[in-house]
């Protein structure tokens, strides 16, 4: 099997860190890595898309800068020792809105995973995630994404935290990406339930049993935390166990679906330390 992995970059330090994380994560796999840069000729994306046409001087200058930047990334990786014979790099430079460009290449190239940084060149200290990262987590629903903070360690995850309310129906194919990474890295899946009531009801017990069946064949364990908000509980759990990744399924109209909304995302302390794997409800 040959994986197709999309690596968006704006040439920031964070995006390069995410690229290196992807190379480490898939080091034993045959992969085509599509390194994507979305360029625009002015500081305002909307203005660029509205007023600058292909063939114009500004457009061509931005295009050359983009292509040179991509070449420099590949050259830099090779000089730093990233010469895995199982890996092929393909660079893509395009003039577009970043979200639309990512959607287009995911569809056109049948991309199986997106790996990107949390923030780009702007790197605001007031925000946990840049707009592009949030839009990709929310809107690119036909492909999972791993979002890698700049401070995330480069080593493979040994424990992946999977928060759940036990209130929604999971399908095996929705969790295949999590299972694949757990097997690839020989990582344990720590299923975390933040208690709202003292005991699980029958519906929640049924959902827990479903997860046991889905996770059969991988190392997993069940955990509970109470008397905390969602973000605090996840943060406490990750810090206390030195976990390496957190995984969510972005289900619309559900309790945990709100985890990806900007106000909550900004409050979650773990964002600066561990990568996030976002999968999607295939029924949406």
* Tens-place pLDDT, residues 231-284: 788 888 999 999 999 998 887 644 444 555 544 454 554 556 899 999 987 655
Between the CA of residue 11 and those of 39, 68, 122, what are the distances in Å? 11, 11, 11
Between the CA of residue 5 and those of 36, 88, 156, 208, 224, what are the distances in Å? 11, 10, 17, 31, 34
- How many Å apart are CA 248 and CA 257, to the nearest integer? 8
Report percent pLDDT > 90 for the chain. Answer: 54
* Tens digit of each residue's pLDDT (9 = 90 or more) over 206-219: 999 999 999 999 99
Q: Which of the two residues, 42 and 156, has the higher pLDDT score?
A: 156
Q: Which of 56-60, 144-148, 199-203 has the lowest mean pLDDT?
A: 56-60
- How many Å apart are CA 254 and CA 260, to the nearest integer? 11
Average pLDDT, the chain: 84
Residue 60 has pLDDT above 90, yes or no: no
CB 252 within 8 A of CB 168: no
Task: Look at residue 3 in the predicted model and tell me its pLDDT.
Answer: 96
Q: What 3 state SS string does 137-197 have?
A: HHHCCCCCEEEECCCCCCCCCCEEEEEECCCCCCCHHHHHHHHHHHHHHCCEEEEEEECCC
Task: Look at residue 272 in the predicted model and tell me its pLDDT.
Answer: 64
Please state whether beta strands 159-164 and 87-95 pair in parallel, antiparallel, or not at all (unpaired).
unpaired
Residue 187 has pLDDT above 70, yes or no: yes
CB 147 within 8 A of CB 118: yes
- How many Å apart are CA 25 and CA 242, to the nearest integer? 18
Which domains does the chain show, CATH number per domain?
2-148 (3.40.50.620), 159-280 (3.40.50.620)
Between the CA of residue 41 and those of 11, 12, 44, 76, 130, what are the distances in Å? 15, 17, 8, 25, 20
* Tens digit of each residue's pLDDT (9 = 90 or more) over 101-130: 999 999 999 999 999 998 755 544 434 456
Task: Look at residue 255 in the predicted model and tell me its pLDDT.
Answer: 40
């Amino acid at each position: 099997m040959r994986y197709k992995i999309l690596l968006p970059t704006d040439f920031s330090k964070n995006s390069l860190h995410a690229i290196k994380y992807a190379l480490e994560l898939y080091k034993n796999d045959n992969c085509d890595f599509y390194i994507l840069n979305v360029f625009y000729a002015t500081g305002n994306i909307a203005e660029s898309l509205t007023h600058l046409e292909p063939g114009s001087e500004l457009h061509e200058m931005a295009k050359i800068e983009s292509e040179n930047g991509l070449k420099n990334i590949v050259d830099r990786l090779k000089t730093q020792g990233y010469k895995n014979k199982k890996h092929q790099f393909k660079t893509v430079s395009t003039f577009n809105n970043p979200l639309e460009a990512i959607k287009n290449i995911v569809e056109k190239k049948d991309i199986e995973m997106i790996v990107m940084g949390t923030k780009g060149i702007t790197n605001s200290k007031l925000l946990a995630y840049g707009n592009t990262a949030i839009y990709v987590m929310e809107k690119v629903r036909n492909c999972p994404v791993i979002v890698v903070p700049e401070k995330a360690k480069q080593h493979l995850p040994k424990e992946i935290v999977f928060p759940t309310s036990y209130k929604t129906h999971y399908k095996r194919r929705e969790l295949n990406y999590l299972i694949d990474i757990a097997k690839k890295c020989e990582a344990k899946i720590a299923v975390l339930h933040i208690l709202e009531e003292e005991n699980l009801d029958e519906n929640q017990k049924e959902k827990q049993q479903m997860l046991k069946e889905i996770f059969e064949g991988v190392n997993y364990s069940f955990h509970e935390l109470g008397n905390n908000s969602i973000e605090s509980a996840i943060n406490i759990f990750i810090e206390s166990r030195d976990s390496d990744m957190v995984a969510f399924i972005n289900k619309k109209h559900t309790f945990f679906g709100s985890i990806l909304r900007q106000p909550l995302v900004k409050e979650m302390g773990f964002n600066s330390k561990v990568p996030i794997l976002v999968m999607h409800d295939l029924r949406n």
